[in-house]
Amino acid sequence: MRHTKTEPSRSAAPAGPTVPPPDPANLASVLSRNIGALQARRRDEERKASRQEKIAEAITRFTGSMAFVYIHVGVFGLWIALNAGLVPGIKPWDPTFVILATEASVEAIFLSTFVLISQNRAAVLADKRADLDLQINLLAEHEITRLLTLTVAIATKLGVDLSGQPELKELERDVAPEAVLNEIEDASEDASA
């Protein structure tokens, strides 16, 4: 019996290396330091949370789980079955389901409060991270502007003609964040008017 070799399909993507390319040594140390700093900061923020915030977070985490759903399906299903008279020998104590509705309403009030407490805490942390992002972005923009200024100076010294690039003068100026915010607000006011 003759064995024939099957050729791979032409439409199949070629199998590439599964090993990621190596990182430069200094980049790996910077990433490790940054990741460590962020993890330490998160642990510190969790440690600083008040007891009430920790309780609200734990309740919110549990109520957002499928275990919570399963418990409620079981409890409410059993309550309905017993009070609808579906189980012989057990007299319904809430045939109109008023007690069940009241309990569910009170539970919803408390759960929504716990969720709001957790969201408020998350919003404060998100604002801090947004402020950090903004500061890093402004610093990076400032550094890029300085590098552009230096590059233009080097090009001028080497006699490179930059006359065909009038936008360079504008790019060499630092961005004023308050001016950008004013422009954004003016544009949204114009759009809503």
Per-residue model confidence as pLDDT tens digits over 144-168:
989 988 988 998 899 998 888 888 8
Q: How far apart, in whole angstroms, are the C-alpha atoms of residue 88 and residue 82? A: 9
Query: Would you say residue 134 lies in a domain?
Result: yes
pLDDT band at 138 (very low <50, low <70, confident <90, very high): confident
Mean pLDDT of the chain: 86
Q: How far is CA 145 from the centre of its chain?
A: 29
Q: Classify residue 179: in a domain, yes or no.
A: yes
**Which structural domain range is residue 73 located in?**
51-192
Q: Is residue 39 part of a domain?
A: no
User: Is pLDDT at 171 greater than 70 in this prediction?
Assistant: yes
Please check whether residue 34 lies inside any domain of the structure.
Answer: no
Residue at 75 is within a domain: yes
Domains contained in the chain, number: 1
Residue 83 CB partners (closer than 8 Å, separation 6+): 92, 93, 94, 95, 97, 100
107 assigned to some structural domain = yes
Q: How confident is the model at residue 8 (pLDDT cuts 50, 70, 90)?
A: very low
pTM of this structure:
0.61
Within-domain flag for 151: yes
Shortest CA distance to 143 belongs to which of 117, 174, 122? 174
Is residue 7, in this structure, part of any structural domain at all?
no
